[in-house]
Amino acid sequence: MKYSIDHKSPIPLHIQAEELLRSMIAEEEFQNGKLLPNEVDLAKVLAISRTTLRQAINKLVFEGLLIRKKRTGTKVNQATVSSKSNNWLSFSQEMKLRGITIKNFELHVTWVYPDEILANFFEIKTDRKVLKMERVRGRSDEPFVYFISYFHPRIGLTGDEDFKRPLYELLEMEYSTVATLSKEEISAHAADDIIANKLRITNGSPVLFRKRFVFDQGERPLEYNLGYYKADSFVYTVESRR
C-alpha cells in the first residue's frame, strides 16, 4: 500500500490522515487537477472512519488547499497560488507545496553581538552573543529572497545544526521549542547595495520587506527575522473577519 496509517502510533489518526493528504497534495497528478479518492473508499483503504478522514480533509479545505464538490469529488485548489498568513508552513514547505524547488544560494551562520533593538526584543544584554543566520534562496538560478534571522540564546542552538532542514521542524524536534505567535510588519523599500547584490537586482529596485517577531508558547521572544523579497516574487495574503 502506498499510503497507510499506523493505528498503534500515539499520533492521532486524523493528524496522520492530514499529513498523508498533504503529501498527496504535493504530488504532481493531484496538483494537475486529478480528483482525490472519494471519502468512503479512502477511509476504507486507510482503515479509519469516514468521520475521521473528513476531519482531516476539512482542515485542508479550510486552509484553502482542497476544494470539494458534490457528486464530483475533492481536488487540489489550483487557484491558491499565494500563501495564507496564519498557516505556519516554513518557507521551503510552502514552496514545495506549489511545486517550486528551492535552492539555497548562500547560508552563513555566525555569532554576533546584538544591537540595541535586538537586545531589547530578546531581553538580554548587548554583550551576550546571539546566533545570526543569513540566507539567500530562490528557484533555479534566480534568487528571490534574502533572509536574516537572529535566534535567542535560550534555545540552545550551537550553530552547527543542519539548517537545510525546515527551520521550525528543527526547533520543534531537536530543541522542543515551539513557535506559536508571530508579529509581522510588511512594507516596501528600495534595495540598497547589499540587498541588490544578494538578489542580483539593480540598486533602488523595489523589494518587499518583512520584519518578523516570533514568540514561543509563553510569549517569550524566540526569533527576529528580516526578509527582503524581490518585487513580484512574493505575495502576502491576509484574511480578516469582523
Partner DNA sequence: GAAATTAATATGTACATACATTACTACAAA
Partner DNA sequence: TTTGTAGTAATGTATGTACATATTAATTTC
Residues contributing to the site for a copy of itself (CB under 8 A):
58-59, 62-65, 79, 82, 84-88, 179-190, 204-209, 229, 231-232, 234-242
**With binding defined as CB under 7 A, does residue 10 bind DNA?**
yes
- Name which of 42 and 118 has its Cβ closer to DNA: 42
Q: How far is the CB of 133 from a copy of itself (least distance, A)?
A: 22
**Range 183-190, long-range pairs (CB < 8 A, 24+ positions):** 183/212, 183/213, 183/215, 184/210, 184/211, 184/212, 184/213, 185/210, 185/211, 185/212, 186/210, 186/211, 186/236, 189/228
Residue 85: name its binding partner from a copy of itself, DNA, none (Cβ under 5 to 8 Å by kind).
a copy of itself
- Which of helix, strand or coil describes residue 197? helix
Which option in DNA, a copy of itself, none does residue 69 bind, with CB closer than 5 to 8 A by kind?
DNA
68 binds DNA (CB under 7 A): yes
Between 88 and 113, whose beta carbon lies closer to a copy of itself?
88
Rounded CA gap, 182 and 187, in Å? 16
Q: What 8-state DSSP symbol labels residue 154?
A: G
Q: How far apart are the C-alpha atoms of 213 and 223, rounded to whole Å?
A: 6
Q: Is 40 in the site for DNA (CB under 7 A)?
A: yes
Q: How big is the site for DNA, counted in residues (CB under 7 A)?
A: 24
Least distance to DNA, CB of residue 6, Å: 10
- Under a CB-based contact definition with an 8 Å cutoff, are residues 66 and 60 in contact? yes
Q: State how far the Cα of 54 lies from the Cα of 60, in Å rounded to an integer.
A: 10
Least separation in angstroms between CB 40 and DNA: 5
The distance of closest approach from Cβ of residue 22 to DNA in the complex, given in angstroms and rounded to an integer, is 16
Where does this chain bind DNA (CB under 7 A)?
7, 10, 12-15, 36, 38-40, 47-52, 54, 68-74
